[in-house]
Amino acid sequence: MAATETTPITKPRLPGSFEIAFRLLLANPLGLFGLCAVVLIVLTVILAPWLAPYDPIRIMVGPRLAPPSLDHFLGTDQLGRDVFSRVLVGGRIALLVALASIGAALTLGLALGLAAGFGPRWLDNAIMLLFDTVRSFPVVIFGLATVTVVGPSLATIIFIVVVTSIPTFGRVARTQTMAIRNDEFIVAETAMGAGAPRIVAVHILPNIIGPLLILASMDIPVVITIEAGLSFLGVGVPPPAPSWGSILSDGFSYIRNTPWPVIAGGIPLILTTLAFTFLGEALRDIFDPKLRKDA
Amino acid sequence: MPADKHDGILQIRDLSLAFRTPAGRLKVLRDISLDLGRGRILGIVGESGCGKSTLISTVMRLLPANAEVTHGEILFNGNDLLRKSEAEMRALRGGRISMVFQDPMTSLNPVLSIGRQMIDIQHRERRSLREKRERAADMLARVGIPDATSRLSAYPHQFSGGMRQRIAIAMALMAEPDLLIADEPTTALDATLEVQIVGLLERLQEDFGCSIIFVTHHLGVVAELCQDVVVMYAGEVAESGSVRDVFHRPAHPYTEMLLRSDPGRIHERTRQLPTIPGEIPSLIDLPEGCVFRPRCPKAFDRCFVAPPAYEAGHDHHATCHLLARETVA
Amino acid sequence: MSALLEVRDLTVRFRSKTALRALVERDRHPWIEAVCDVSFSIGEGETMALVGESGSGKTTLARAIIGLVEPAAGSIRFSGCEIGALSRGEMKRVRHDMAMMFQDPRGSLSPRLAVRQLITEPYRIHDLKRRDLDAECRRLLGLVGLPAEFGERYPHQLSGGQARRVGIARALALDPKLILADEPTAGLDVSVQGEVLNLLARLQDEIGLSILMVTHNLNVVRHVADRVAIMYLGRFVETGPTEDVFRQPRHPYTAALLSANPESDPDARMARIELQGDVPSLLKRPSGCEFHTRCFRVQATCRDVVPARGAAGRQDFTCHFPLSDELSITARRKG
């Protein structure tokens, strides 16, 4: 209630907002788990080539479809490849696709959203029409159509994800911009003679970027599953390169012989998804102004 | 302390409240005591951060989860509100105790018509729908809404700010409460509308006979409307008593300075207005002794010890050591 | 006295409905006049106050002067230049000499910038980066009485009064000739109001600023303004030297505003004028004298005939039946 608002505290030095955010993150068990898991996953994936005991694409390093053993932690697949090594290296592709495409989608969506939110009415209408057109296509249909035309590759997957996620970021950026464009501090800048580029870059962007970064961190697992889904359907990363989706897909064909490849491909996918989701949700709670007032 | 506690409607005794925050414990209210007599209008004045809104929220038991009452009691008709269950409190709110807020839209639902809302709040009464409707229209007429019966079907946004505040008052008085708490009800209104609302509250109080707590930072409104006043500073009661005593013979230096800096009091044109230098202390580490000491021009060595509430006259108290010195000398 | 700012017959319009809807409904006048035929001038070193209630158009008038809203008619001359005729580059020059302080002390400060950046923002906007910004920041903070350490604080770490001082410091950055102060004391406690007003008065004495102050608080005006204009529904209903207007208001609305300031003395009872009803909507301006719906002295003429501008002494007003000396609004002691 108004109670805390009407209590100005004048302390010599107040902790910066990032310091408080970090402290709140550490105080949130799920958020802490998410943070640790994300750090661990990223480290593992970066170090994958050194951690992997076998070459992930070399065939017949062991018997086919072997269950887990000390030689092969997660067993082998139908071509006798080491599944553990494939999972580690496949994680690289998953994260590369996720980070590259989310990064690009965030940048482009932000630019378009800012233009729509701060620009003239006609520009807003044009950009919104574009967003709605893209969003009215089912993602899977759009993805299959694109792959059919340009062929499966990592770049194609990134392209598909970028195009389909831009409207999500763009809409949030636009709404946030519109919410503050008539705030008094923006009017004050205009009155001082500041031009639109300066107002957008210096005054609007820092105030709307928080929610977008949270949205991005929560979108990363979605993208990983899109990549996995497309690879599972056989239109993703072309073989023999390992990816979580193709590990699942291969394992699925031999599930009657052994369940291990499916489990090995599924668990890191679930773990990564959960880790990023927990981190994203914790960040969202921390940046929610209603919860931040106590800080 | 005043002796006639029997006809009091609300007594607050040594109430202390703290907020737990990551930065430390905010001691927002400290040893607050006040008495509200039946049928009296009490003004609570103070500047932002003095805890007046928190005090109201504590009486209504509408506190955030990190608040903690560390001490004291709030007696309403002799029963301690702090010991009541949540269900009992819900029955009291909007029943025996009602509230009017600064922004009338807080208490009005924007998607329901005024009439519907005024009928809904009579859900505890056993009356026919038609009687409830008539009562609602009657209530609106009493707060000065012209053409009340036909306006029942209108929605909150169709009224101006002043009219909305009148409707909020009508709704608060619907249950004929014993206590009406008005939290800065005129702050958002223009001066000419503020005059109207103050006049309205004055008339309604005479009609209904309820007690009113009027929270404001506007000293002129207190002088106009209230009989008793409590002056708060940084979470404590600095001075309390009848409006006439406190405004004519302020016993606490803070009250004195507050009254002096009211530009409405200064009739001669001046380029140098009186102010209170300094800042409100941090509620995490409070100054030693009297909270007002760092800003007080009359502070002396004894002020490093926290002053009790000294008697300054009949039912007139102030927490300032100067009063003790006067009685000694 | 040479006029620094001269406003003639200024009108500001806003659309009340979209062009298409107006066409469909055959509404020839889909506008509301937020400011209507307003004329005044401010001399160098002078303080003028625009007083009115919400919706009176006082803020819109100030925003039109600094170029945030486009006027529909009339002229604004600043230091002899017609503002409407200026190019974008020339307008930026004018903004050098004019600064505005906004209502919300904290809300008008960009929340993610430190005070140091906020205060020096005007230099960056006007490409004056070559100046020693740290020294400027210290000078400006000193001017408004804040210690230099405040440069490192963020808006949410400031109290209302401190935020207001930062706003003043920023307004002073480019050594303006005119400051437009929109409700400079709004949201401040009485003990701090005085500080801000004293600061403005001191700066005016030291730097020779002209100030156009927009406020609803007559108590504040009395001590700061040389002249005052009372606005109602976008028009000036009374203008004159502050002392004269306070001593003897001529327009009934001015008198009502003056009496609506309850004094913090429980025994003083004002000859209270309680106006009836609300401010009418700008969409439906009353006929005749626009104040007649709320006036306590209304007569038949007022409902039909638009009053002409009258004058008494140095006061101007638009009223058929102006108040004269017999009805004076002074505090009387009760019994």
> Secondary structure of chain C in the HEC alphabet?
CCEEEEEEEEEEEEECCCHHHHHHCCCCCCEEEEEEEEEEEEECCCEEEEECCCCCCHHHHHHHHCCCCCCCEEEEEECCEEHHHCCHHHHHHHHHHEEEECCCCCCCCCCCCCHHHHHHHHHHHCCCCCCCHHHHHHHHHHHCCCCHHHHHCCHHHCCHHHHHHHHHHHHHCCCCCEEEEECCCCCCCHHHHHHHHHHHHHHHHHHCCEEEEEECCHHHHHHHCCEEEEEECCEEEEEEEHHHHHHCCCCHHHHHHHHCCCCCCCCEECCCCCCCCCCCCHHHCCCCCCCCCCCCCCCHHHHHCCCCEEEECCEEEECCCCCCCCCCCCCEECC
In this predicted model, what pLDDT tens digit does every residue of A77-89 receive, in sequence order? 777 788 788 888 8
| CB distance B281 to B291 below 8 Å | yes
What is the pLDDT of chain C when averaged over all its residues? 85
ipTM higher than threshold 0.85: no
More confident: C57 or C276 = C57
Residue A116 has pLDDT above 80, yes or no: yes
Task: Give the one of B23, B64, B280 whose C-beta lies nearest to A8's C-beta.
Answer: B280
Instruction: Tell if the CB–CB gap between B162 and C263 is shorter than 8 Å.
Output: no
Q: How far is A284 from chain B (nearest CA, A)?
A: 18
Region C158-179: mean pLDDT is 89
Q: Which candidate, B101, B26, B92, B28, places its Cα nearest to that of B59? A: B92
Task: Give the one of C223, C243, C274 whose C-beta lies nearest to B263's C-beta.
Answer: C223
Instruction: Tell if the CB–CB gap between C278 and B193 is shorter than 8 Å.
Output: yes
Q: Which chains touch B (3 or more CB pairs under 8 A)?
A: A, C
CB contacts, 8 Å: C217 with chain B: 191, 263
Q: What is the DSSP letter of B249?
A: S
Question: What is the structure's pLDDT at B133?
Answer: 92
Reported as a pLDDT band with limits 50, 70 and 90, residue C89 is confident
CB contacts, 8 Å: B47 with chain C: 189-192
Region C76-82: mean pLDDT is 88
Question: What is the structure's pLDDT at C270?
Answer: 59
Task: Give the one of C197, C260, C278 whose C-beta lies nearest to B273's C-beta.
Answer: C197
Question: What is the structure's pLDDT at C60?
Answer: 92
Cα separation, B224 vs B238, whole angstroms: 21
What is the pLDDT of chain A when averaged over all its residues? 79
Question: What is the structure's pLDDT at A11?
Answer: 36
Instruction: Tell if the CB–CB gap between B21 and A295 is shorter than 8 Å.
Output: yes
Q: Which candidate, A283, A216, A212, A294, places its Cα nearest to that of A21? A: A283
In this predicted model, what pLDDT tens digit does every residue of B230-280 receive, in sequence order? 999 999 999 999 999 999 999 999 999 999 888 777 777 777 888 888 888
Instruction: Tell if the CB–CB gap between B49 and A1 is shorter than 8 Å.
Output: no
C329 touches chain B (CB under 8 A): no
CB contacts, 8 Å: B276 with chain C: 191
Question: What is the structure's pLDDT at A287?
Answer: 65
Mutation to test the C interface, candidates A10, A189, A192, most C Cβ within 10 Å: A192
Residue ranges of chain B with pLDDT lower than 70? 1-7, 325-329
In this predicted model, what pLDDT tens digit does every residue of A208-260 receive, in sequence order? 887 888 788 878 878 887 877 777 777 777 777 787 877 777 777 787 877 87
Residue C152 has pLDDT above 50, yes or no: yes
Reported as a pLDDT band with limits 50, 70 and 90, residue A18 is low
Q: How far is A269 from chain B (nearest CA, A)?
A: 36
Task: Give the one of B48, B191, B243 whose C-beta lies nearest to C257's C-beta.
Answer: B191
Region C178-207: mean pLDDT is 87
Region C106-123: mean pLDDT is 89
Residue C334 has pLDDT above 60, yes or no: no
CB contacts, 8 Å: C103 with chain A: 184
Residue C1 has pLDDT above 60, yes or no: no
Interface of C with B in 176-205 (CB under 8 A): 189-195, 197-198, 201, 205
* Number of A–B residue contacts, CB under 8 Å: 58
More confident: B226 or A74 = B226
Region A41-68: mean pLDDT is 77
Task: Give the one of C108, C124, C160 whose C-beta lies nearest to A184's C-beta.
Answer: C108
Q: How far is A6 from chain B (nearest CA, A)?
A: 5
Question: What is the structure's pLDDT at B1?
Answer: 41
A8 touches chain B (CB under 8 A): yes
In this predicted model, what pLDDT tens digit does every residue of C220-270 receive, in sequence order? 888 889 999 999 999 999 999 999 998 889 999 999 888 887 777 777 765
Task: Give the one of A7, A14, A20 whose C-beta lies nearest to B283's C-beta.
Answer: A7
Instruction: Output the CA angle C47-C49-C51, nearest 5 degrees.
Output: 175
Tell me the percentage of chain C whose pLDDT exceeds 70. Answer: 94
Question: What is the structure's pLDDT at B319?
Answer: 93
Task: Give the one of A1, A7, A20 whose C-beta lies nearest to B49's C-beta.
Answer: A7
Which residue on chain A is closest to B60 by alpha carbon?
Answer: A1
CB contacts, 8 Å: A6 with chain B: 48-54
Cα separation, C316 vs C307, whole angstroms: 12
In this predicted model, what pLDDT tens digit does every residue of C282-324 receive, in sequence order? 888 899 999 999 898 888 999 999 998 888 889 999 999 888 8
Task: Give the one of A1, A3, A295 whose C-beta lies nearest to B22's C-beta.
Answer: A295
Instruction: Tell if the CB–CB gap between A188 and C122 is shorter than 8 Å.
Output: no
Q: How far is B12 from chain C (nearest CA, A)?
A: 25
Q: How far is B173 from chain A (nearest CA, A)?
A: 23
Residue A289 has pLDDT above 70, yes or no: no
Helix (H) or strand (E) holding B75: strand B67-76
Question: What is the structure's pLDDT at C329?
Answer: 43
CB contacts, 8 Å: A188 with chain C: 100, 102, 108-109
Interface of A with B in 17-56 (CB under 8 A): 20, 23-24
In this predicted model, what pLDDT tens digit does every residue of A178-212 receive, in sequence order? 999 888 899 988 888 888 888 998 889 888 887 88
Which residue on chain C is closest to B225 by alpha carbon?
Answer: C266
Reported as a pLDDT band with limits 50, 70 and 90, residue A175 is very high
Which residue on chain C is closest to B189 by alpha carbon?
Answer: C54
Question: What is the structure's pLDDT at B187?
Answer: 83
Q: How far is A28 from chain B (nearest CA, A)?
A: 13
Please, which contacts does B271-274 make with residues 24 or more away whose CB atoms are closer than 8 Å? B271/C198, B271/C201, B271/C205, B271/C223, B272/C198, B272/C201, B273/C193, B273/C194, B273/C197, B273/C198, B273/C223, B274/C194
Region A98-126: mean pLDDT is 92
